[in-house]
RNA sequence: GCGGAUGUGGUGAAAUUGGUAUACACGCCAGACUUAGGAUCUGGUGCCGUAAGGUGUGGAGGUUCAAGUCCUCUCAUCCGCACCA
């Protein structure tokens, strides 16, 4: 029989649409599985990474459907974002048209790959309905104080007149025009994600069994919790006078309070408010001001190259010794961590040491190793024994840390504090193609939330996109409105939201029944049934931001009363990248493979089979044209051999004992494959080994010609393979089994019963020969057989030990 | 620097609790059928060796009757974070 992928695939794709085969049921009494793959940005065409992602989720979804679960396997498009605007700048196409044209094309690609997505729940985050509910949530969060507006230092491209996200700054320059990026002080909206820092960190433990360790660690490091001492460094009298008593001092944070007696200077970030005050009030000479401005304006790369600083000619007093400590501005002190100021202990911190060497500041050692001498040529950053530390001398670092913190707390001059690397999430973008932030600026009322009944605040279509500045701000009429509170003329907020906001709750929206799509974002009942996501599959590149933000939204929604759980994704599978010629596929490298071309040449089943067979999902996948060809050959053979199968509608009953050796072996291989498949879908996700098992079974079936064994084999194998290569399996199954075999299959234990078993015989751990014994042979008889067979190696030696590992091997230990 | 991961044939990769290393596939070699083959089928294929045998999971040690698997050290590659006080 000739395998014609195109015909078969078209036919079943139509069948599935007409039969609504992949729509979840609203019967909430059934057991459910929620299988989700990270939705794509509608860039135009699918790439192989997408194909890998959705082939994986599709395999899970189809498997659980076979197992009679109510399966939700939705898809959507993360459709706001910069590329749509960039396309507009480049080709003059409207972002909306560009986006929705791409979506249409990609939906066609999904269909041609046979992905079993629910059609009725498809959405795009740029849909006005989606914006409407999102803006509602934003208002809720603003009311709860979880969204606020403040000035912040942002990456600003002076040429594009826009704020850039950190990821858009490439080596200190704008990713698009290569202009040097500067920091600009601007008003921005922030989500108060830091309020949840502790919970986001602690709850990682709840995910230990379902998430890759790597992702958990990355999130842990990103949150970056550290414990230590916070205290105030106070100015001495002269310095207070110089500062016109505007500042008493400033806070510093340290994780090493045990080194406090080694403090020999203190340093402020160039952006620190005291520094700003001194510049604004001409308290510094010109040279110093120029130096500080240089530090501020340096790109982050330059700033890291070499430590530099300048003295402020001010002194603070050491909190314990009351000695004078000089105050400097230093480029290595970061404004956005801790308080933007540090106590410096050059003897025990590498940065402080480098700086002290450069500017000839004192280096006072106060910690020494327990069992060796202190070297003065570098900073000793380990823990050790304290000295020159008054009453704390002689203590070890660990004890000293808590005692010194206690001492500060007793004296009320400092306190135990926790610091986080995680910062509040800046969400406003000066961009057109995003969800508008639903606020208005009113001269008399300030920032006012839009009324929920006025939502969505939709984007205007008639805009001009030039790449410079924010098109919404330049629009003549859109931003003018009435204040929802006082009714006077007001101005709409023209900032739009970061696209990560949309992807932080889309998995909840999918739970909503399309019947109520217009009415509500989702209902508590629907969420309760479908969530959490049983398998979430996507790229490792989202290990931090997307997954952290989605976890944050889940906790916020819980606190807003919309749902009742803490974590959205129970099991996370992070797939490896798709490579060609050893490098990630990318247009710029010219090493891409177009999925459409593969489907055209071989069909979707070949692409899916290759992708799942070539490597386990978490590993990188190296594209290999001849291995694709190999997958295609297997499908041809698989299709061709189905001519050995009888048309039946129940699995054949076979009298195992009456079969030939080859027939028995074939059945054993078939059921081995089935047993392995169960494990793969539910535990290990190593589809490559499952497919190998099926190939072994096929090879074994080929060695015999019993029609019943063939039929039984195909009954089982097409069931195992349907999630991987659905079209060909539905075709064979409908022709031979009236689709009756795409159901749970049970492993027949009887086929594993062996008439004899083969044991390896090794001498001193080295395998030498084999023996064949009856399964119930006694230990003595097995050892006897082994010794007889291995006689050759035993001659002239002394046998010192005999080990029998049941069903595996015999090891004979000998001596000369 | 800190954290995480990975190292097995020519290639992608297998290997329950430690128990005959290299399943399955690609590639290669040989043969069959063919006007032809980039189709199909059959057989072979870790390395050295005619063979017996030796050797072999990045490297060096160790534990064990037995180590790809456990322990110690080390090298290499990849990924994430990074002047985080």
User: How many Å is the maximal CA-CA distance in chain A?
Assistant: 109
CA/C1' separation A810–B9 (Å) = 28
Which segment of A17-26, A504-513, A730-739, A786-795 scores lowest on mean pLDDT?
A786-795
pLDDT of A166 reads 64
Asked if A74 contacts A510 with a C-beta cutoff of 8 angstroms, the reply is: yes
A807 has pLDDT over 90: no
A800 touches strand B (CB under 7 A): no
Give the distance, in angstroms, between residue A765 CA and nucleotide B60 C1'. 22
CA distance A640 to A633: 10
pLDDT of A175 reads: 66
pLDDT of residue A169: 67
Query: What value does the mean pLDDT take over residues A146-156?
Result: 86
> Distance (Å) from CA A236 to C1' B66?
73
Which residues does A625 contact at the CB level (< 8 Å), separation at least 6?
none
Which nucleotide has the shortest C1'-to-CA distance from A224? B84
A343 in Cβ contact with A352 (< 8 Å): no
Residues of chain A (200-219) having a beta carbon less than 7 angstroms from strand B = 213-214, 217-218
Nearest to A567 by CA among A37, A88, A201: A201
Strand order in the sheet with A446-449: A446-449, A439-442, A489-492, A480-482
Distance CA A249, CA A274 (A): 9
- CA-wise closest residue to A137 among A455, A432, A431: A455
| ipTM of the complex model | 0.94
Task: Report H helices in A29-81.
Answer: 48-66
Percentage of chain A with pLDDT > 90? 73
- pLDDT of A470 reads 86
Instruction: Looking at A420-562, list the stretches that DSSP marks H as alpha helix, in order from N- to C-terminal side.
Output: 471-474, 506-509, 524-530, 545-559
The reply to whether A193 has its C-beta less than 7 Å from any atom of strand B is: no
pLDDT band at A431 (very low <50, low <70, confident <90, very high): confident
From the alpha carbon of A330, which nucleotide's C1' atom is closest? B83
Residue A702 pLDDT grade (very low, low, confident, very high; cuts 50, 70, 90) = very high
Peptide bond into A532 cis (omega under 30): yes
| Structure-token pair, residue A140 | 């809720």
CB atoms within 10 A of CB A162: 21
pLDDT value of position A167: 59
Query: Is strand B in 7 Å reach of the CB of A417?
Result: no
pLDDT at A161 over 80: no
Mean pLDDT of chain A, nearest integer: 92
pLDDT of residue A795: 81
Residues 331-350 of A with CB under 7 A from strand B: 331-335, 337-338, 340, 342-343, 349
pLDDT class of A246 with cuts at 50, 70, 90 = very high
CB-strand contact A689/B, under 7 Å: yes
CB proximity list for A648: less than 8 A, separation 6 or greater = A711, A715, A736, A737
Task: Give the three-class secondary structure for A770.
Answer: strand
Q: Is 80 exceeded by the pLDDT of residue A816? A: no
Distance A797 CA to B54 C1' (A): 20
Q: Which residue has the tokens 């009725």?
A: A120
Q: What is the 3-state secondary structure (H, E, C) of A109-165?
A: HHHHCCCCCCCCCCEECCCHHHHHHHHHHHHHHHHCCCEEEEEEEEEEECCCCEEEC
- Is nucleic acid strand B under 7 Å from A222's C-beta? yes
Lowest mean pLDDT among A248-252, A255-259, A585-589: A585-589
pLDDT at A135: 98
* Cα dihedral A454, A459, A461, A464 in deg (nearest 10): 140
SS3 A722: coil
CA distance A597 to A604: 10
Structure tokens at A413: 């001059």
Determine whether the distance from the CB of A766 to the nearest atom of strand B is below 7 Å.
yes
Closest by Cα among A747, A138, A214 to A435: A138
Task: From the CA of A671 to the C1' of B37: give the distance in Å.
Answer: 37
Determine contact, residues A312/A275, Cβ cutoff 8 Å: yes
Nucleotide nearest to A760 (CA to C1'): B20
Q: What is the pLDDT of residues A309-350, one digit of tens each?
A: 999 999 999 999 999 999 999 999 998 898 999 999 999 999
Return the pLDDT at A304: 82
pLDDT of residue A663: 93
For A392-410, what is each residue's pLDDT tens digit?
999 999 899 999 999 999 9
Note the pLDDT of residue A165.
66
Using C1' positions and the CA of A345, the closest nucleotide is B85
What integer is the mean pLDDT of A479-498?
A: 94
* Residue A170 pLDDT level (bands cut at 50, 70, 90): low
Show which positions of strand B are touched by protein (CB under 7 A). 2-5, 11-15, 17, 19-21, 23-27, 39-42, 53-55, 65-67, 79-81, 83-85
Residue A592 has pLDDT above 90, yes or no: no
pLDDT digits (tens, 9 = 90+) for A621-632: 989 999 999 999
DSSP state of A436: B
Distance A800 CA to B66 C1' (A): 15
Q: State, as a whole number of angstroms, the distance between the CA of A625 and the C1' of B32.
A: 27
- Please identify residues in chain A, positions 704-723, with a C-beta within 7 angstroms of any atom of strand B: none
């Amino acid at each position: 029989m000739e395998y014609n992928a195109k015909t078969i695939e078209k036919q079943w794709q139509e069948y599935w649409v007409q039969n609504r085969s992949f729509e979840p049921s609203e019967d909430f009494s059934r057991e459910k599985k929620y299988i989700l793959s990270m939705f794509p940005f509608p860039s135009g065409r699918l790439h192989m990474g997408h194909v890998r992602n959705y082939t994986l989720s599709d395999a899970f979804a189809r498997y659980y459907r076979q197992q009679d679960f109510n399966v939700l396997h939705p898809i959507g498009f993360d459709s706001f974002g910069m590329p749509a605007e960039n396309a507009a700048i480049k080709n003059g196409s409207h972002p909306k048209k560009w986006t929705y044209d791409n979506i249409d094309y990609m939906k066609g690609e999904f269909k041609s790959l046979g992905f079993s997505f629910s059609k009725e729940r498809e959405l795009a985050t740029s849909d006005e309905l989606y914006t409407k509910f999102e803006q509602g949530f934003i208002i809720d969060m603003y009311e709860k104080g979880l969204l606020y507006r403040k000035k912040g230092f942002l990456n600003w491209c002076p040429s594009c007149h826009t704020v850039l996200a950190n990821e858009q700054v490439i080596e200190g320059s704008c990713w698009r025009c290569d202009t040097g990026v500067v920091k600009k002080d601007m008003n921005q909206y922030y989500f108060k994600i830091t309020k949840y820092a502790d919970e986001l960190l602690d709850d990682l433990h709840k995910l230990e069994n379902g998430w890759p360790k790597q992702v958990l660690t990355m999130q842990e490091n990103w949150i970056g919790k550290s414990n230590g001492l916070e205290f105030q460094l106070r100015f001495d009298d002269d310095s207070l006078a110089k500062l016109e008593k505007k500042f008493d001092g400033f806070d510093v944070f340290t994780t090493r309070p045990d080194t406090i007696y080694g403090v020999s200077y203190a340093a402020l970030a160039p952006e620190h408010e005291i520094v700003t005050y001194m510049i604004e009030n001409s308290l510094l000479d010109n040279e110093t001001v120029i130096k500080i401005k240089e530090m501020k304006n340096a790109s982050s790369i330059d700033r890291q190259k070499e430590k530099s600083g300048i003295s402020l000619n001010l002194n603070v007093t050491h909190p314990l010794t009351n000695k004078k400590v000089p105050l400097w501005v230093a480029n290595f002190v970061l404004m956005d961590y801790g308080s933007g100021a540090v106590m410096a202990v050059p003897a025990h911190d590498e940065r402080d040491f480098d700086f002290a060497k450069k500017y000839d500041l004192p280096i006072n050692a106060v910690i020494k190793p327990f069992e060796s001498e202190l070297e003065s040529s570098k900073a000793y950053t380990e823990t050790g024994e304290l000295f020159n530390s008054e009453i704390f001398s002689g203590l070890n670092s660990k004890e000293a840390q808590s005692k010194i913190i206690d001492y500060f707390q007793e004296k009320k001059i400092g306190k135990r504090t926790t610091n986080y690397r995680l910062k509040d999430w800046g969400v406003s973008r000066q961009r057109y193609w995003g969800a508008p932030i639903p606020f208005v600026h009113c001269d008399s009322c300030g920032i006012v939330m839009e009324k929920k009944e006025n939502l969505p605040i939709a984007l205007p279509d008639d805009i001009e996109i030039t790449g410079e500045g924010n098109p919404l701000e330049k629009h003549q009429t859109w931003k003018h409105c009435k204040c929802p509170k006082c009714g006077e003329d007001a101005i709409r907020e023209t900032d739009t939201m970061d696209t990560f906001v949309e992807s932080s709750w889309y998995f909840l929206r999918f739970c909503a029944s399309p019947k109520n799509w217009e009415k509500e974002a989702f209902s508590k009942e629907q969420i309760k049934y479908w969530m959490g996501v049983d398998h979430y599959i996507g790229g490792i590149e989202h290990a931090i931001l997307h997954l952290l933000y989605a976890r944050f939204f889940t906790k916020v929604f819980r606190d807003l009363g919309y749902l009742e759980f803490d974590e959205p994704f129970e099991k996370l599978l992070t797939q490896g990248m798709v490579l060609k010629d050893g490098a990630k596929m990318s247009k710029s490298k010219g090493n891409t493979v177009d999925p459409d071309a593969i489907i055209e040449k071989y069909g979707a089943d070949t692409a899916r089979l290759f992708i799942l067979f070539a490597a386990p999902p978490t590993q990188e996948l190296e594209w290999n044209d001849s291995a694709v060809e190999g997958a295609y050959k297997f499908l041809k053979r698989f299709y061709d051999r189905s001519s050995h199968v009888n048309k039946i509608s129940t699995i054949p009953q076979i009298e195992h004992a009456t079969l030939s050796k080859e027939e028995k072996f074939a059945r054993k291989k078939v059921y081995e494959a089935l047993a392995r498949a169960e494990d793969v879908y539910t535990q290990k996700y190593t589809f490559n080994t499952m497919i190998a098992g099926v190939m072994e079974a096929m090879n074994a079936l080929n060695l015999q010609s019993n029609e019943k064994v063939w039929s039984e084999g195909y009954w089982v194998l097409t069931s195992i393979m349907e999630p991987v290569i659905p079209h060909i399996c539905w075709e064979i199954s409908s022709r031979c089994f009236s689709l009756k075999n795409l159901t749970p299959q049970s492993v027949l234990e009887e086929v594993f019963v062996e008439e004899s078993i083969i044991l390896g015989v090794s001498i001193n751990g080295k395998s030498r020969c084999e023996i064949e014994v009856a399964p119930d042979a006694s230990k003595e008889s097995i050892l006897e057989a082994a010794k007889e067979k291995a006689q050759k190696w035993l001659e002239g030696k002394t046998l010192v030990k005999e080990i029998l590992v049941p069903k595996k091997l015999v090891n004979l230990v000998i001596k000369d």
